[in-house]
Homo-oligomer: A and B are copies of this chain.
Amino acid sequence: MAAKSNFFSIVAGVGAGTGRSVALKFAKTYPVVLLARNPANYESIVEEIKSSGGTALGISTDVSNPESVTKAFSEIQKDQAFANKKLAAAIYNVGGKFIRKPFLELSLEDYEAGYEATGKGFFLFAQKVLPLLLESVEKSEHPPTLVITGATASLRGGANMSSFASGKFALRATGQSLAREFGPKGVHVVHAIIDGVIDIPRTKEWMVGAGPDAKINSDAIADSYWYLHTQPRSHFTQELDVRPYVEKF
């Protein structure tokens, strides 16, 4: 991995699947900051990137907490590997707490959990990264990019899914709004709908019997995010969906 770029990237919501794959992919070109609440979620990935010759910085961050987010971005400014670099790409991959239960059994806290992670959390993250991305317009090789990870529930409010879906809908609304405001300024805002189960240790026992490749390979998601990042500004994708070939939709 090479990471001598004058630009860096940042991934919020790093774990075993998409976050890890995306961080590894972008680290091939840019130093990468990894945000997760629990350091256990990024530590081994930071090591993996460093041992491949890349540059990575993990910061324990609660994206739904304004102070925590502010602190994370000030740590980035202080880190000598990142301090003088501009931001080329930001990925918001925070999933939040997944709550699936009958509506009348939800507490207010349960319901709000969806919005905390994907509404409020994204707002706080976007307010930090957009000024940095604007500074890279017409400077970075590829248009500065903000990629948002969505889900089936970004488009459909299923039964017993009001907490998760309301957060994902709010996230999509905000992403559309930002695409329309910041696109004409040269920042590419894109929303990816991941419609299927991602193949990670936690889902090992899921969909057994559905055949090979029935779960999404998160490296393929990372390839998509990288491809989207490299789109020129005459050709911005705002939304794309991905799912395994066997998935009903």
Which A residues lie at the B interface, using CB under 8 A?
66, 102-104, 106, 108, 111-112, 115, 119-120, 123-124, 126-127, 130-131, 143, 153, 156-162, 165-178, 180-184, 186, 188, 199, 213-217, 220-221, 223-224, 227, 231-249
Q: 14 additional contacts, CB 8 Å, given A103-B182, A157-B180, A235-B244? A: A103-B126, A103-B127, A108-B123, A108-B124, A157-B172, A157-B175, A166-B174, A169-B172, A216-B234, A220-B235, A224-B235, A227-B227, A239-B240, A240-B241
Q: Which residue of B lies closest to A161 (CB)?
A: B177
Which residues does chain B contribute within 8 Å of A104, judged by CB atoms? 127, 130-131
Q: Known contacts A103-B126, A220-B231, A234-B216: does B159 contact A177 (CB below 8 Å)?
A: yes
- Is the beta-carbon distance between B177 and A103 smaller than 8 angstroms? yes
- Is the beta-carbon distance between A220 and B232 smaller than 8 angstroms? yes
Q: Give, as a whole number of angstroms, the nearest-CB distance from A217 to chain B.
A: 5
Which residues does chain B contribute within 8 Å of A127, judged by CB atoms? 103-104, 106
